[in-house]
Amino acid sequence: MMLSRSTAKAAIGHGGGKSRLIPTTSTIIHRLKSSGCPVTGPILKKVPTLPFVGSMIPQHSGLPVFQMSRQYEFNSELRQKFGEFIHYGIPGFGVGLYGHMYTIFDPNEMAKVVRSEGAYPSGLIEKLWQWRRAMLESGSVLVSKKDSSSSDGETHDYGLFDKGEGWKRHRTFLQTGMLDPVAARGFLPGIVLAAESASSVAPLHSHNVNEYMNYTAFDMFCSFMFGKQVREAMMFGLYTLHALERN
C-alpha cells in the first residue's frame, strides 16, 4: 500500500485517540515509552532521498533497481530489505522536491489507514497527470470546470481521477452499479466466462504467473465494464504455446 505524505497516518498501534502523522521513528519510540505504552506495530524505516531523484539511485539509497517489468519483485525485495513500513522518495508519485511517500505491507496497518481516510481519500490515481491531461484535451465527460481554482491552481475536476466531492459523486454512482445484487446478476456471468477462458491456458504460464494474472484481470474487467470478451489471456497463452512449439 503506497501513501503520499498527506495520506499517511501513524502505522503504530494506538488506543482510542486519533492517529496523526509522526515525523521520526525515534520520536515514536520516545513518546510511547514515556507514556508507558508498549511499542507495537512495524517501525518506520527511512530510506535516504535526494532532491529531484528521490530514492531512485540504488547506490545512494540502497533501494532495489526499479524496472516496470519487475514491479512484483521490486516490492518483495523492498519489503525484505527495509521491513513493513517504509518512507522513501519516488518523484512524480510522491510529494515535494524529494517525492516523499510511504509504503505499508502489513494488512493490519493498512486497515488503520483506510479507516482514517475520511470521506475524501487521496491516492496515486490523482497523480496520473498524463491521463488527466489526455482526458481534458479529448473533452472527456468525466472532466468538469470548477467554479474557482483550487489551492494548487487546478481549474478542472477530473472525477474518478481526482479527489473531493467530484470523486465522491462518481465513485458512489459506480459503486451502486457494481455492488447492487440485481446489477451483479447481469455482469457476473461475463466475468465467470472470462475467468474460465483464461483458466484454460493457465498451465502454459507456470513461469510467468504475474504477467498471466494481469491479462486475466484485464479480461474480467473488460467483461464487466464493456460487456465484451476480449480473451487477451487466451491469446497470450496461444502465443506462448506457439513459441514453445517453435523452440
Cell 521513528 identifies what position? 25
Q: String of b and e for 163-180 (b: at least 16 CB within 10 Å)?
A: beebbeebeeeeeeeeee
Give a three-class secondary structure readout of 77-146: HHHHHHCCEEEEECCCCCECCCCEEEEECCHHHHHHHHHHCCCCCCCHHHHCHHHHHHHHHCCCCCCEEC
pLDDT of residue 226: 83
pLDDT of residue 81: 94
Q: What is the pLDDT of residues 229-245, one digit of tens each?
A: 888 888 877 676 667 66
- CA 135 to CA 37: how far, in whole Å? 50
Cell for 196?
474460465
Residue 95 neighbours by CB under 8 Å, 6+ apart? 4, 5, 6, 101
Q: Which residues of the chain have pLDDT under 70?
A: 1-40, 238, 240-242, 244-245, 247
pLDDT of residue 37: 58
Say if residues 6 and 124 touch (Cβ distance below 8 Å).
no
- CA 212 to CA 238: how far, in whole Å? 12
Say if residues 25 and 44 touch (Cβ distance below 8 Å).
yes
- CA 182: distance to chain centroid? 29
Which letter does DSSP use for residue 147 in this model?
A: S
pLDDT of residue 241: 66
pLDDT of residue 228: 83
